[in-house]
């Protein structure tokens, strides 16, 4: 049985850990709120970009672009968005599990796929598993700006345009609520489907031609999809970390209660033992 000193030391250590996890929960809650606001603020731009691109692509059958057309898939690019660190529950592992399952199911050779890693955890996982990584960005801030990934998104879209990859798929955690995140797998390129939306009341006049405008807008649209997914993933990350730290704090409370009970029982046993020894000593003197 552990000594009173050992139990007391464990109680103090657990209480210190509880203070840390409680503070981390509050910090993550604050970051989650800001990340959610960033995601909502970016949504109008993304929707308007999609509306304009869809207006040209769907209503003009004579306008074409390589990013809108399917081609035989010889090599697939996977954009994988993970966190810079752990302590976020299953946030990272769920995305990486989805990636590995897809690779195992769809590919026979490493020449058939490559990974674009956003986040240290995904990058390090791919390196340990010997999964080819063609581009990466690590050290992303908690509230990323488009400038943080501008070069990567541009180069990634260029890989598709130059036919170094024939499709681009993204894996990330979609933010549903503060307590719920869903692993999402979406095909970014080729752009073959647009979200269904109501008929736009806007009428556009294009100068110069629609084809030339599409040439500029399509890469920007694809880049905006990657950035929008990153904002969404960051909100999910902070929510997952907040939930994980809350669970850790609750577990610490339960452990402290159990240890306190053990401490009181051990203390009671020690007192009883001392009383017994005193009575035994008195009896021996009589």
pLDDT band at 119 (very low <50, low <70, confident <90, very high): very high
Taking all residues of the chain, what is their mean pLDDT, rounded to a whole number? 88
Partnered with residue 17 across adjacent β-strands are: none
The string of pLDDT tens digits covering residues 29-61 is 999 999 999 999 999 988 888 888 877 776 666
Give the per-residue pLDDT at 198. 45
Parts of the chain belonging to CATH 1.10.287.80: 4-22+245-285
Q: Where are the alpha helices (DSSP H) in 74-197?
A: 91-106, 120-128, 146-161
The string of pLDDT tens digits covering residues 166-191 is 999 999 999 998 888 999 999 998 88
Share of the chain above pLDDT 90, in %: 59
The string of pLDDT tens digits covering residues 192-226 is 766 554 455 566 676 777 777 788 888 888 999 99
**CATH code at 4-22+245-285:** 1.10.287.80
Between CA 173 and CA 236 the distance in angstroms is 6
Mean per-residue pLDDT for 233-258?
Answer: 94
pTM of the model: 0.86
Give the per-residue pLDDT at 282. 75
Parts of the chain belonging to CATH 3.40.1380.10: 31-241
As to burial, measured by CB atoms within 10 angstroms (0-12 exposed, 13-18 middle, 19+ buried), residue 112 is middle
Give the per-residue pLDDT at 269. 84
SS3 274: helix
| C-beta of residue 199 within 8 angstroms of C-beta of residue 34 | no
Domain 31-241 has CATH 3.40.1380.10: yes
């Amino acid at each position: 049985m552990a000594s009173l000193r050992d139990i007391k030391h464990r109680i103090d250590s657990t209480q210190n850990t509880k203070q840390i996890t409680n503070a981390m929960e509050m910090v993550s809650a604050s970051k989650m709120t800001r990340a959610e606001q960033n995601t909502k603020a970016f949504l109008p731009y993304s929707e308007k970009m999609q509306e304009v691109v869809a207006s040209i692509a769907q209503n003009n059958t004579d306008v074409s672009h390589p990013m809108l057309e399917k081609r035989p898939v010889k090599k697939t690019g996977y954009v994988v968005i993970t966190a810079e660190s752990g302590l976020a529950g299953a946030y990272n592992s769920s995305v990486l599990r989805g990636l590995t399952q897809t690779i195992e199911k769809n590919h026979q050779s490493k020449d058939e796929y490559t990974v674009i890693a956003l986040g240290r955890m995904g990058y390090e996982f791919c390196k340990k598993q010997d999964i080819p990584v063609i581009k990466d960005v690590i050290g992303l801030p908690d509230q990323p700006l488009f400038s943080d990934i501008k070069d990567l998104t541009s180069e990634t879209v260029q890989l598709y345009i130059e036919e170094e990859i024939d499709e681009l798929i993204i894996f990330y955690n979609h933010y549903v609520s503060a307590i719920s995140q869903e692993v999402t797998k979406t095909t970014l390129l080729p752009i073959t489907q647009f979200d269904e939306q109501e008929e736009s009341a806007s009428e556009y006049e294009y100068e110069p031609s629609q084809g030339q405008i599409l040439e500029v807008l399509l890469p920007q649209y694809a880049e905006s999809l990657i950035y929008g997914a990153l904002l969404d993933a960051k909100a999910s990350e902070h929510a997952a970390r907040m939930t994980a730290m809350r669970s850790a704090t609750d577990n610490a409370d339960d452990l402290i209660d159990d240890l306190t009970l053990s401490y009181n029982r051990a203390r009671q046993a020690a007192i009883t033992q001392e009383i017994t020894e005193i009575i035994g000593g008195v009896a021996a003197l009589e």
